[in-house]
């Protein structure tokens, strides 16, 4: 939000509005630290193996992508009602697109696990490989490959008064605290709810909470992954995986190094990438790496949750209350 205000933006993402959170979708496949040249999500039908069917404790506290889409749409409607109540009769919240079915908490979190996908497109799931290849062919081909974004919505352009009503802040101030301090408490002669219509919609959905994507839950989701790669059980499994890969002619210390090999950070999928990815999946299966890794992270994550039990219980209740509003 700070960078947006510094740039005096006149647009607000309706997805961000609906949850009033900075890092809306943080903690999904991106938490695995995959390289930008490879994939961060995969087709739901293309993911087989242990990572696809496993769950993590944090899923009780963070909305899934499908839940997020529902909450976004509900939040948009609440914001529209709030804005119209403040005198912006023509304000319309755009309809949200369908949820992206490719994203789950464990998609590619532990790297590529599907032998069939690896044999076809290496470290690039099919939809990513097609898109990157098309983009190499020019703008027209790229547009055809991209298609409509699964959760896309046209962002409204807000004037100063609308921004004030939506956020409870002024666009001019570069600091959020200063923006709140400097902001008028009324717009068009009507009282602005604390935090504007964005915060009001979140409070309505959660029964008084300020966030759906609570910072603490997101932090745990990211931190547990970082801690898992240092766990002795996981490093031992990495060593076994690395030895397996060595036996197949490849020298990588862990799956992240293979996935992030600069040679594969190109639009097209090479025969070498397919060979390495195929060996990677085979060695994961042979060493039961994903079983060990997921088990270790689930334990780490649960300990982190237990250490903040009171706060996390409140977060869970806020999520449950919000979802009850959209069922």
**What is the pTM assigned to this prediction?**
0.70
> Is 110 part of a structural domain of the chain?
no
Query: Would 235 be classed as within a structural domain?
Result: no
Domain coverage including residue 2 = 1-46+63-102+150-211
Does 233 fall in a domain?
no
* Among candidate residues 175, 169, 171, the one with its CA nearest the CA of residue 192: 169
Q: What is the mean pLDDT of each run of 10 residues along the chain (327 residues)?
A: 34 40 33 35 32 79 85 90 94 70 69 92 75 50 40 66 89 58 81 92 86 87 97 98 98 97 94 98 97 97 98 92 87
Tens digits of per-residue pLDDT, 38-69? Answer: 333 333 223 334 345 688 999 999 988 788 88
Q: How many distinct structural domains can be found in the chain?
A: 1
pLDDT of residue 88: 94
* Per-residue pLDDT at 326: 85
What local confidence, expressed as pLDDT, does residue 68 receive? Answer: 83
Residue 196 lies in a domain: yes
In a domain, 207, yes or no: yes
Q: Does any domain span residue 187?
A: yes
Task: Indicate whether 225 belongs to any domain.
Answer: no
Flag whether 227 is in a domain: no
């Amino acid at each position: 939000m700070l960078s947006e205000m510094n740039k005096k933006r006149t647009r607000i993402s309706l997805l961000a509005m609906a949850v009033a959170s900075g890092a809306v979708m943080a903690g999904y496949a991106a938490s695995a630290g995959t390289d930008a040249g490879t994939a961060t999500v995969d087709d739901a039908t293309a993911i087989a193996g242990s990572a696809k069917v496993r769950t993590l404790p944090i899923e009780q506290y963070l909305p899934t992508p499908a839940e997020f889409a529902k909450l976004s749409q509900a939040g948009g409607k609440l914001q529209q009602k709030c804005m119209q109540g403040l005198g912006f009769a023509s304000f319309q919240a755009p309809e949200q697109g369908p949820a992206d079915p490719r994203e789950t908490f464990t998609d590619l979190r532990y790297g590529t696990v599907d032998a069939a996908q690896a044999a076809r497109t290496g470290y690039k799931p099919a939809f990513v490989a097609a898109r990157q290849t098309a983009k190499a062919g020019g703008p027209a081909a790229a547009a055809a490959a991209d298609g409509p974004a699964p959760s896309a919505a046209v962002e409204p352009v807000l004037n100063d008064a609308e921004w004030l009503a939506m956020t409870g802040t002024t666009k001019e101030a570069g600091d959020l605290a200063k923006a709140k301090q400097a902001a008028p408490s009324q717009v068009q002669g009507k009282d602005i709810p604390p935090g504007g219509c964005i915060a009001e919609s979140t409070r309505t959905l959660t029964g008084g909470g300020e966030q759906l994507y609570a910072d603490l839950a997101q932090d745990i989701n990211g931190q547990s992954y970082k801690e898992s790669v240092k766990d002795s059980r996981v490093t031992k499994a990495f060593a076994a995986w690395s030895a397996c890969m060595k036996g197949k002619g490849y020298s990588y210390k862990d799956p992240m190094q293979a996935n992030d090999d600069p040679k594969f950070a190109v639009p097209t999928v090479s025969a070498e990438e397919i060979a390495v990815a195929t060996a990677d999946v085979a060695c994961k299966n042979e060493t039961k790496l994903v079983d060990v890794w997921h088990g270790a992270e689930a334990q780490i994550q649960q300990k982190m949750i237990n250490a903040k039990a009171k706060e996390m219980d409140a977060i869970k209740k806020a999520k449950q209350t919000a979802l009850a509003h959209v069922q």
